[in-house]
Chains A and B, each alone.
Chain A
Amino acid sequence: DAGITQSPRYKITETGRQVTLMCHQTWSHSYMFWYRQDLGHGLRLIYYSAAADITDKGEVPDGYVVSRSKTENFPLTLESATRSQTSVYFCASSSPEDSNQPQHFGDGTRLSIL
């Protein structure tokens, strides 16, 4: 089915571990985004990408790494997880040609860092 898929849906890990969150979209959208959602802060942009091999920092990029070797995939890596990175992470995608739907969101990954 077409759409945007995030995996895993739930993840528990320990401080200092590396963890990668996956995002896959089947629309061939050129733009992809990572947000984190925390109580009291709402959704905040971590990184975004306008095309394969083009990425830019958002509001809260520290501690995160992204890559985009293929248009359909946009993984987010926490190289050394900290408790402050416990959050719900949402991936989104959009197409500049689709003026009626700015961003489609996945259903999120709930990440707990102990």
Chain B
Amino acid sequence: QKEVEQDPGPLSVPEGAIVSLNCTYSNSAFQYFMWYRQYSRKGPELLMYTYSSGNKEDGRFTAQVDKSSKYISLFIRDSQPSDSATYLCAMSAVRGGADGLTFGKGTHLIIQP
């Protein structure tokens, strides 16, 4: 079993919908959780960075972490066609991922105009 599980999709939703992206993990040592967005032929760019359990909101994006269930989520409100990309969850036991990040496989998201 891979340490981080993420449904690869594709996930297709209409413009304006609320999108829910999820990852589960098995390593209870993970404390730092990230969501990256990756456009085609580009590198991942950080969207959200959270520590331990709880919620964090930034504009249309909300990240949730439930360490008791080993489950993290990213919600996108009022989705736009420009949100179409691959979303990668990543996590680390060390602050800032100093010994590297463990990634999910990524979910390919398509927002239909």
Contact = CB atoms under 8 A, between A and B. Distances in A.
Contacts of A50: 98
A94 B105 contact: no
B41 A99 contact: no
Nearest to A104: B46
Contact of B32 (A33, A41, A102): A102
A90 B106 CA distance: 15
Contacts of A105: 36, 43-45
Contacts of A33: 100-101
A60 to B, nearest CB: 11
B44 A102 contact: no
Given A90-B44, A99-B95, A106-B43, A42 B106 contact: yes
Contacts of B95: 96, 99
B18 to A, nearest CB: 25
A43 B49 contact: no
Contacts of A106: 43
Interface of B: 4, 6, 32, 34, 36, 41-46, 49, 88, 90, 92, 95-106
Given A42-B105, A105-B45, 18 more contacts: A31-B96, A33-B100, A35-B103, A41-B105, A42-B6, A42-B103, A42-B104, A48-B99, A96-B95, A96-B98, A98-B96, A100-B49, A101-B49, A102-B32, A102-B97, A104-B46, A107-B42, A108-B42
26 contacts: A33-B101, A42-B6, A42-B104, A42-B106, A43-B101, A45-B100, A45-B102, A48-B100, A56-B99, A90-B43, A94-B96, A94-B98, A95-B96, A96-B96, A98-B96, A99-B96, A101-B46, A102-B49, A102-B92, A102-B96, A102-B97, A103-B46, A107-B41, A107-B43, A108-B41, A108-B42
